[in-house]
């Protein structure tokens, strides 16, 4: 995959003598891969609606708690909350936001407190792209 279609996160995490390359966000990947989600849930649109409802309820609180953990340099909670978000987002087909959450989880695990804020901002930006698409789908199925 060429460099121009990737936004490679600009930091590398040093662990002893090893260099761990952080996750990459594929810019060709849509913010929300609705088709992939539908395939995984046997094309059950009612279930997708139900899942989005759960997500809309859980996401604000989880990302709020994550932001508080990042702001206070709480590595343990930063790691566990970003792990939770990674699972939620990847289950929903939000691969880009999930990749951003995964990067934050890795940084927290590596003790990179200074890098947490930037990674959180990336996650927030990707979530900002995803949420309108989910809202649009919800509005459509309500009609």
Partner 1 sequence: MRILIADDEALSRRMLEKALERAGYEVTSVENGKQALEHLCKPDGPRLALLDWVMPELDGPGVCRAVRTRSEQTYIYMVLLTSKGSKEETVLGLESGADDYLTKPFNAEELRARLRVGERILLLEDRLVEARENMRFRATHDPLTSLLNRGAIMDLLGRELHRSQREQKSTAILLGDVDHFKRVNDTLGHVVGDEVLGEIANRLLASVRSYDFVGRYGGEEFLVVLNGCDPPYAPGRAEAIRKSVSNRPIQTVKGPLALTMSFGVLLSADWGPRSIEELLHEVDTALYQAKDAGRDCLRMAKPDAKTEAPQAALPQPARRAR
Binding site for partner 1 (CB under 8 A): 39-42, 44, 47, 50-51, 54-55, 58, 80, 83-84, 86-88, 90-93, 102
- The pair of three-digit structure tokens given for residue 16, joined into one six-digit string: 């002893």
Name the maximum alpha-carbon separation found in the chain. 57
CB-nearer residue toward partner 1: 4 or 42? 42
- The pair of three-digit structure tokens given for residue 9, joined into one six-digit string: 């996160």
State in angstroms the smallest separation of the CB of 89 from partner 1.
9
State in angstroms the smallest separation of the CB of 105 from partner 1.
9
State in angstroms the smallest separation of the CB of 48 from partner 1.
10
CB-nearer residue toward partner 1: 7 or 90? 90
State in angstroms the smallest separation of the CB of 73 from partner 1.
21
CB-nearer residue toward partner 1: 34 or 91? 91
CB-nearer residue toward partner 1: 86 or 96? 86
Alpha helices in 1-143 (DSSP H): 34-40, 45-71, 75-92, 95-109, 113-142
Nearest to 116 by CA among 78, 68, 88, 65: 78
State in angstroms the smallest separation of the CB of 102 from partner 1.
8
C-alpha distances in angstroms, 29 versus 7, 36, 95? Answer: 11, 11, 7
C-alpha distances in angstroms, 45 versus 22, 132, 142? Answer: 34, 18, 12
CB-nearer residue toward partner 1: 50 or 136? 50
């Amino acid at each position: 995959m060429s460099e121009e279609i990737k936004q490679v996160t600009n930091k590398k995490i040093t662990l002893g003598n090893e260099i761990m390359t952080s996750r990459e966000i594929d810019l060709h990947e849509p913010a929300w891969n609705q088709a992939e989600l539908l395939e995984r849930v046997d094309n059950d649109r009612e279930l997708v609606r139900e899942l989005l409802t759960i997500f809309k309820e859980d996401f604000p609180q989880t990302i709020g708690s994550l932001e508080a953990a990042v702001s206070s340099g709480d590595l343990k909670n930063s790691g566990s909350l970003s792990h939770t978000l990674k699972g939620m987002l990847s289950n929903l087909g939000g691969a880009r936001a999930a990749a951003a959450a995964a990067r934050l989880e890795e940084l927290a695990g590596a003790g990179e407190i200074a890098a947490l804020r930037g990674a959180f901002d990336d996650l927030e930006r990707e979530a900002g792209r995803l949420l309108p698409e989910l809202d649009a789908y919800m509005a459509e199925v309500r009609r």
